[in-house]
Chain A
């Protein structure tokens, strides 16, 4: 597998993502894993279902990698995001960023997850004991009205 940015129905293994960014120039690899949380604001989640506009989502993940390279320089980024039904504690997303020094790797991996929540067309549906709902945005508030990219963000294509 040569892709560095991918959407998959299969379980994601950290090592598969890290292996895309490991290189002699790197002195640091920062990884981020997003996992399925059981309780949100006291409400119990049974499972999640993720859906993606796969072709566009992979392009947007790649765009995030390009933004990271532009901002920090000498970076390698790989991101995998899972779709389909996920149980509690399963891995939804894995990000790996390698850089010469650790500070950039920490900052860039955080930037990557924040950007995923802004521009990548992936949605999650919460499945509770008493119903289901598609979640509108993920800055952990449930308004459907925020998090629309600015014109500037939209022109990054």
Chain B
């Protein structure tokens, strides 16, 4: 199982903070194409990707138990 986390505007539009997918062996880009794109989330293309709490590229291949997070441009401070 792969956990996918959403924050800020993405979370609000989706209406939940997390989804779980069977996506081991796929890349992040493939996950976006197969599942996430359908939600038509605003500004998704500007979000950075984190895999297991580190910034990662969309080419990252997922392993069972991994957590992907979509990180919209940050605004802390």
A interface residue numbers (CB < 8 A to B):
34, 50-53, 55-57, 59, 81, 92-93, 113, 116-125, 134-138, 144-149, 153-154, 157
Contact = CB atoms under 8 A, between A and B. Distances in A.
Contacts of A55: 53
B55 interface: yes
Contacts of B35: none
Contacts of B50: 53, 56, 121
Interface of B: 5, 7-9, 11-12, 43, 46, 48, 50, 53-57, 69, 71-77
B interface, over-half SS: mixed
B16 to A, nearest CB: 14
A interface, over-half SS: mixed
A120 B73 contact: no
Nearest to B55: A154
A148 B77 contact: no
B69 A148 contact: no
